[in-house]
Amino acid sequence: MLLDIFDPKAPPKPVGIDLGTTHSVLAVVRDERPLAITTCDGVPLLPSVVHYGEHGQVLVGRSAQSYLERDPERTIASVKRFMGRGWGDPQLSRLGTYRFREPKTPDEAKVVHFELGGAAGGETRTPIEVSAEILRSLVSSAREQLRSVGGAVITVPAYFDDAQRQATRDAARLAGLEVLRLLNEPTAAALAYGLESKKEGTFAVYDLGGGTFDITLLRLEEGVFQVKSTGGDSALGGDDMDRALAEQLLALMGFERAVDAPKPVIALALGMARDAKHRLTDAERVELVLPRRGGGERRHVVERAEFDQLILPLLERTGKAARRALRDAQLGPTELDGVILVGGATRVPAVRRYVAELFGRPPLSDIDPDLVVAYGAALQADQIQHDRGDTLLLDVLPLSLGVETMGGAVDRILPRNTTIPVGAKATFTTYADNQTGFELHIVQGERELARDCRSLARFTLKGIPPLPAGQARLEVSFHVDENSLLRVHARELSTGIEQSVEVKPSYGLSDEQVEQMLIDALDHGEDDFELRRLAEARVEASRLVLATEKALAADAGLLDERERTEVPEQLARLKAALEETLPQGASGAHASRLQGLSQALDAATHAWAGRRMDRAFQAALAGRDVGTVAGSVQHARGVDAHLEEHQKAQQP
């Protein structure tokens, strides 16, 4: 049913948008209740499909769906799976009807380009442009009923990374929308469910859509929605169920390798698989008529039990993420007050049975799982527009954020599952004498070494005066806003030189990279710890070698007879250990050896260092009054103590 026309003199109406893989929905709040805007087809669900005609016409929704089989190479579906992705991403190799333009430059490789019509060198579109068309269509329908559309809260999967979130914001800007906030889909669903049913407690939100899966555990209490943990897979959804069945159908049609089939045939198989999935929600079996390669046709019956077995590996992937989220939140299934289902793929009976077994209780589905996310977004948009403080959303970071330090280790500034919005600071120092710049490498992930995490951004802070190692101090601030977008600010404290960067990576994580990051962090935890210990031991040993060589060049005359032999010997041993090539698995033992040799060199130079300091004080006393010198010494001790507290060697 269409909404009544609003007062044309009323201010622009804020909206909530679920920009989905399979369908998209726009909703508003009227009389304190969320309502979905219907499309020109008279239904709230707009198929997320765009067709680009040869003569420039653009069709969106059901009218575009009819071209999926007729003209698949000019018709884009499930574009959400490509948001924030780059050339070479595993998503591009999945069974589908798309053709992608091969990049000619590194910059082109950062963004996927769909080739329309399959002709190299012809028209192309990016996922941002395709998504903008879907948003324009939603807004066009809304304007027919609301007259004036205001800002929008747009939902994204909780496991979308910075690149995918930024791509979503860019699509909205291209469509002429003001983004009030990017809201995680499970949080939006919980918001709609909590406010609609007035229930409180601890809930799991199991969100399986067309192309993404999220699992979020949160607490609803007295208007506060606090996310305890989140997990998922940004490349897993109902499309994968269609693809698994379509591959079987293509084999029955006579194609040994599904990807070898012509694009129109692949489109036909995907369409038949999708239709069979929907029909199997109510029926125990469906009969399909398949065209055979070379002519003719054959009949094939798909049993629900057969389909359930086919998608079981996909469901088990959701189970792994759900169990990890429970561990992160330190909760057991019996401690939950309910499980909320979100996403069209949760209509599949096998999914509902799996969720019931996983959590030991039947899931809640009081609100339409296709609409609940848009409802929550609309409620949040209404609260932002009217500055209502009766509800507070506390979301979390899905992965840790940090800085690469000297030696390749990671200093985590913001750990995963930190509540957002949030800010944090850390102080670093120079590693080498006369260092005039800092190179900052921002990373995301759970591994101990930067090379095993995802690189988000690099930038350099220049113009620092040449000072002895350890005297320049760099304060690095991280701030993650309510949209989960990161901003980094760096300032050298003695000079005030500063620089900021909005972390906007131009390509996203690979197919299972986010999920794999957590698995790798667990599987390689002990090895990573030893590798980090080795990296830090190398940094400290190198620093000690440089300091000792510098001291020998300046004050070798202060060595006593024993030290003239012992100090060079200990120095040579430490330098030789630094240059050794290690066999695999020897990092822990070598780290301990480096630490031992560093301690031996430090002990050998201890008395000599005292004599060097005494001579420095005597030189400073010459021609100066005792009060002035005492003040200088006290200040120097204070600076040394401060630096020692914050000393972290940063990669030059």
Helix boundaries (H) for 283-407 = 304-328, 349-359, 372-385
* Percent helix / strand / coil, the chain, rounded to 5: 45, 25, 30
Tell me: do 369 and 274 sit in the same domain: no
Alpha-carbon distance of 197 to 538, in angstroms, equals 58
| CATH code: domain of residue 422 | 2.60.34.10
Q: Is residue 641 part of a domain?
A: no
Whether residue 583 is contained in a domain is answered as yes
Answer whether residue 281 is part of any domain.
Answer: yes
Task: Based on the fold, state whether residues 214 and 353 are members of the same structural domain.
Answer: yes
Are residue 372 and residue 415 in the same domain, yes or no?
no
3-state secondary structure of 288: strand
Domain that holds residue 553: 525-621
Could you tell me if residue 643 is inside a domain?
Answer: no
Q: What is the pLDDT of residue 389?
A: 54
Are 117 and 222 within one domain?
Answer: yes
Higher-pLDDT residue of 353, 398: 353
Among 199-208, 560-569, 612-621, which is the least confidently predicted range? 612-621
Amino acid making up residue 171: A
Confirm if 339 and 357 have CB atoms less than 8 A apart. Answer: no
CATH of residue 562's domain is 1.20.1270.10
Tell whether the model's pLDDT for residue 544 goes beyond 50.
yes
Q: Residue range 556-563: average pLDDT?
A: 87
**Residue at which a domain ends, from 310, 326, 349:** 310
One of 162, 207, 214, 448 is an active-site residue; which one?
A: 207
Is 80 tagged catalytic? yes
Does the pLDDT of residue 631 top 50, yes or no? no
- Reported confidence tier of residue 208, pLDDT bands at 50, 70, 90: very high
Co-location of 93 and 115 in the same domain: yes
Span 61-89, mean pLDDT? Answer: 87
- β-pair type (486-492, 473-480): antiparallel
Q: Is the peptide bond before 421 cis (omega within 30 degrees of 0)?
A: yes
* Together in a domain, 258 and 279: yes
pLDDT at 417: 75
Q: Give the C-alpha separation, 294 to 585, whole Å.
A: 57
CATH number at residue 302: 3.90.640.10
Is pLDDT of 224 > 80? no
| Structural domains in the chain (count) | 4
Residues 158 and 297 in one domain: no
pLDDT at 242: 93
- Average pLDDT (417-444) is 81
Judgement on whether residues 346 and 321 belong to the same structural domain of the protein: yes
C-alpha 6 chain-centroid distance: 39
CB-based contacts of 347-350 (< 8 A; 24+ apart in sequence): 347/281, 348/238, 348/241, 348/277, 348/280, 348/281, 348/311, 349/280, 349/281, 349/304, 349/308, 350/304, 350/307, 350/308, 350/311, 350/312, 350/315
637 in a domain, yes or no? no
Q: Are residues 463 and 476 in the same domain?
A: yes
Domain end (from 372, 395, 418): 395
- What does the pLDDT look like over 377-387, one tens digit per residue? 999 999 888 77
- Lowest mean per-residue pLDDT among 65-74, 434-443, 541-550: 434-443
Q: Same domain, yes or no, for 538 and 512?
A: no
Dihedral angle over CA of 543, 443, 324, 186, nearest 10: 150
Q: What percent of the chain is modeled with pLDDT above 90? A: 24
Please say whether the beta carbons of 307 and 245 come within 8 A. yes
Question: What pLDDT, on a 0 to 100 scale, did the predictor assign at position 388?
Answer: 60
Compute how many other C-beta atoms are within 10 angstroms of the C-beta atom of residue 617: 12
Catalytic residue (choose from 89, 129, 185, 240): 185
Residue 292 lies in a domain: yes
Residue 3 pLDDT: 44
In this model, does residue 376 exceed pLDDT 80? yes
- pLDDT of 170 strictly over 60: yes
Which of 18, 161, 404, 492 is catalytic? The answer is 18
Among 125, 124, 123, 122, smallest CA distance to 133 is for 125
Q: Output the pLDDT for position 252.
A: 92
What's the pLDDT at 187?
84
207 belongs to the catalytic site: yes
Check whether residue 459 and residue 563 sit in a common domain: no
Q: Is residue 250 part of a domain?
A: yes
C-alpha–C-alpha distance, residues 128 and 50, integer Å: 12
**Range with the largest mean pLDDT of 58-62, 284-288, 481-485, 609-613:** 284-288
pLDDT band at 473 (very low <50, low <70, confident <90, very high): confident
The answer to whether residue 556 is domain-embedded is yes
Rg (C-alpha) for the chain, rounded Å, is 30
Question: Are 459 and 502 contained in the same domain?
Answer: yes
Rounded-to-integer distance, Cα 208 and Cα 185, Å: 10
Active-site residue (options: 13, 69, 73, 80): 80
**Residue after which a domain boundary falls, among 310, 334, 353:** 310
Q: What are phi and psi of 453, to 5 degrees?
A: -105, 175
